[in-house]
C-alpha cells in the first residue's frame, strides 16, 4: 500500500465484534479471562490495549518498520529509546537539539552515569571523530530543532554500522511522509506524535519505531515496566490525526515555502533557515534524502529579545505558543521557550542567538499568513 492508504487502513480493520469501521476507543483497564492464562490477547491496558495496538501498527507501517511502541509524550518515547543504555555507555548527538532532549541527556541520563557528547554533525565525519570504545548510540535530529540543519542520515548510518553502534533519528520535523530514516540505515525512529502525526494540538504522545528484534524487546519491556503509555482516547485521537497526515503535510510544505520566500526578501530579517530554499546550506542533501521540506521555518529578526517580543506580540493569526505541527500556525522564541533549558552560553554557541524565531507554518491560507507577518513587522504601514 502507498502512504495515504496505509495511514487510513494499516492496523485499522473493522472491529470484529461490531463491524465498526473506525477503531473503537477501548476505554477499559482490564480484560475478563476465560480461565487462568487464557484470554483474547489482552490482560491489562498498561501492557496492551486494542486502540493503542491499532496506532502502533499504523505507525510501524508508515515508517516501514516492524515494531512500534506508543508513549504518553515525545520525551517518554525518547526515554524509552535510551532505556537500554547502561552506566559508562557513551552517546554522540548532534548539537542542535530540542531543549527537552538536551535536558533528558544532561539531567537524567548523566546522573545514571551514561555519558553524552555533542558534535555539529553537518559533516558526518564529526560523528566518527567523537566515537569512543564505549560509544553505543548516535542520536540525530534531522531537520534539527530549531535551526533546521539537515544531517546526512545514510552517511551516519554507515559510520554506525562500521562501528557496531546503534543509530537513532528523531523524525518529528520531517514526519514519515517526507522521510523514512529506517530506509536510510537508522535502527530507531522517534516521534513526538503530539506534533504533525496528531496534527491538531489536542493530544500529547510519542512513539518509537524499529526493525530490530533486540531493541523492540527492550523498548516494549520499558513501556510495560515504566508505564508511560497513552490512554485509549489519546491513542484514538492520534490515530484519527494520522489519517490526514499526507494531505496536511502537502499544505504545510507549500505554505512554509511561501512564508520562507517572503521572509527572505524582508529588510528586517537577517537570515532564514528552510531546507526548501536553494540558499539553505544542505538544500541538495535535503532534496536527496527527503521527499519534501516540511512546515518549519526559522529566521533571525534584526534586533534582540525586545524586538523579537514586540514582533511576536503583534501577530494575529500566528499564535505565540509552545509546540508545533498543528493545523494552526504557531510562533515561538526558542531562547526562552523550547530551548530555555539550555544554558545561554551553550545556546549561543550552537547558533540560537537572541533574535531567533521559529515558525510552525499551519494550513491556513498562505496569503493571510504572509499578511500577518508583514503587519507584525510594520503595524503602521
Query: What is the pLDDT at residue 358?
Result: 96
Chain mean position to CA 364: 22
Query: Residue 202: what pLDDT?
Result: 98
Q: Catalogue the E-assigned strands of 172-278.
A: 188-191, 206-210, 269-273
pLDDT at 331: 97
| Catalytic residue flag (residue 358) | no
- pLDDT score recorded for residue 14: 95
Report residue 338's pLDDT band, with 50, 70 and 90 as the boundaries: low
The contacts of residue 292 (CB under 8 Å, 6+ apart) are: 177, 178, 249, 250, 253, 276
> CA–CA separation, 91 vs 112, rounded Å?
13
What is the percent of the chain where pLDDT is above 70? 98
- Which pLDDT score, from 0 to 100, does residue 309 have? 92
Dist. CA 150–CA 153, nearest whole Å = 9
Quote the cell numbers at residue 43.
490482560
Q: What pLDDT, in 10s, does the model give residues 117-146?
A: 999 999 999 999 999 999 999 999 999 999
Catalytic residue among 195, 300, 332, 347: 195
Catalytic residue among 98, 102, 196, 333: 98
DSSP code of residue 230: P
The active-site residue, picked from 126, 152, 170, 372, is 170
Q: How confident is the model at residue 342 (pLDDT cuts 50, 70, 90)?
A: confident
Specify the pLDDT at position 302.
87
Query: How buried is 156 (Cβ within 10 angstroms: 0-12 exposed, 13-18 middle, 19+ buried)?
Result: buried
| pLDDT tens per residue, range 157-175 | 999 999 999 999 999 999 9
d(CA 218, CA 36): 27
Q: How far apart are CA 180 and CA 153, in angstroms?
A: 10
Active site residue 195: yes
Q: How many helices (H) and strands (E) does the chain have?
A: 14, 12
Q: What is the pLDDT of residues 277-292, one digit of tens each?
A: 999 999 999 999 999 9
C-alpha to C-alpha distance for 120 and 350, rounded to whole angstroms: 8
CA–CA distance, 34 with 17 (Å, rounded to integer): 17
Q: 200-219: per-residue pLDDT in tens?
A: 999 999 999 999 999 999 99
Strands 330-332 and 319-320: parallel
Q: Catalytic pick from 46, 212, 268, 270?
A: 46
**Do 274 and 281 meet the contact criterion of CB atoms below 8 Å apart?**
no
Query: Which is more confident, 345 or 265?
Result: 265
Burial 225-263 (b: 16+ CB within 10 A, else e): eeebbbbbebbbbbbbbbbbbbebbebbbbbbbbbbebb
H or E element: which one contains 246? helix 245-264
How far apart, in whole angstroms, are the C-alpha atoms of residue 176 and residue 181?
A: 8
Average pLDDT, the chain: 95
For the chain, domains (ranges, CATH) are: 3-242 (3.40.640.10), 245-377 (3.90.1150.10)
79: annotated active-site residue: no
Confidence of residue 40 (pLDDT cuts 50, 70, 90): confident
pLDDT exceeds 70 at position 238? yes
Of 166, 194, 170, 192, the residue nearest 181 (C-alpha)? 170
**What is the rounded distance in angstroms from the CA atom of residue 30 to the CA atom of residue 216?**
24
**pLDDT for residue 51 is more than 80:** yes
- For the question of residue 316 being annotated catalytic, the response is no
Q: Note the pLDDT of residue 210.
A: 98
pLDDT class of 335 with cuts at 50, 70, 90: confident
- Residues 73 and 357: their CA atoms lie apart, in Å, by 24
With 0-12 / 13-18 / 19 or more C-beta atoms within 10 angstroms meaning exposed / middle / buried, residue 76 is: buried
pLDDT at position 93 over 80: yes
pLDDT at 381: 67
Amino acid at each position: 500500500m502507498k502512504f495515504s492508504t496505509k495511514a487510513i487502513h494499516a492496523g485499522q480493520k473493522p472491529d470484529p465484534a461490531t463491524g465498526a469501521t473506525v477503531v473503537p476507543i477501548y476505554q477499559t483497564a482490564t480484560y475478563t479471562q476465560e480461565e487462568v492464562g487464557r484470554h483474547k490477547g489482552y490482560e491489562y491496558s498498561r501492557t496492551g490495549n486494542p486502540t493503542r495496538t491499532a496506532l502502533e501498527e499504523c505507525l510501524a507501517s508508515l515508517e516501514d518498520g516492524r515494531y512500534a511502541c506508543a508513549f504518553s509524550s515525545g520525551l517518554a518515547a525518547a526515554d524509552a529509546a535510551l532505556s537500554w543504555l547502561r552506566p559508562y555507555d557513551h552517546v554522540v548527538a548532534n548539537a542542535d537539539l530540542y531543549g527537552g532532549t538536551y535536558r533528558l541527556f544532561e539531567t537524567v541520563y548523566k546522573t545514571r552515569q551514561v555519558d553524552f557528547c555533542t558534535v555539529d554533525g553537518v559533516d558526518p565525519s564529526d560523528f566518527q571523530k567523537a566515537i569512543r570504545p564505549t560509544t553505543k548510540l548516535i542520536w540525530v535530529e534531522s531537520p534539527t530543532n530549531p535551526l533546521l540543519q539537515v544531517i546526512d542520515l545514510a552517511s551516519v548510518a554507515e559510520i554506525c554500522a562500521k562501528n557496531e553502534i546503534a543509530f537513532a533519528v528523531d523524525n518529528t520535523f520531517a514526519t514519515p511522509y517526507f522521510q523514512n530514516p529506517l530506509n536510510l540505515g537508522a535502527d530507531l525512529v522517534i516521534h513526538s506524535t503530539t506534533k504533525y502525526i496528531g496534527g491538531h494540538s489536542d493530544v500529547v504522545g510519542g512513539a518509537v519505531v524499529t526493525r530490530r528484534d533486540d531493541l523492540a524487546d527492550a523498548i516494549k519491556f520499558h513501556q510495560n515496566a515504566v508505564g508511560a503509555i497513552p490512554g485509549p482516547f489519546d491513542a484514538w485521537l492520534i490515530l484519527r490525526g494520522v489519517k490526514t497526515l499526507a494531505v496536511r503535510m502537502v499544505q504545510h510544505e507549500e505554505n512554509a515555502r511561501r512564508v520562507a520566500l517572503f521572509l527572505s526578501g524582508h529588510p528586517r530579517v537577517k537570515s532564514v533557515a528552510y531546507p526548501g530554499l536553494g540558499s539553505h546550506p544542505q538544500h541538495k542533501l535535503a532534496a536527496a534524502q527527503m521527499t519534501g521540506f516540511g512546515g518549519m521555518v526559522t529566521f533571525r529578526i534584526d534586533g534582540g529579545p525586545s524586538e523579537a517580543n514586540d514582533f511576536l506580540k503583534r501577530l494575529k493569526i500566528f499564535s505565540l505558543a509552545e509546540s508545533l505541527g498543528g493545523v494552526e500556525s504557531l510562533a515561538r522564541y526558542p531562547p526562552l521557550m523550547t530551548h530555555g533549558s539550555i544554558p545561554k552560553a551553550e545556546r549561543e554557541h550552537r547558533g540560537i542567538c537572541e533574535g531567533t524565531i521559529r515558525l510552525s507554518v499551519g494550513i491556513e491560507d498562505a496569503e493571510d499568513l504572509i499578511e500577518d507577518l508583514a503587519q507584525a513587522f510594520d503595524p503602521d504601514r
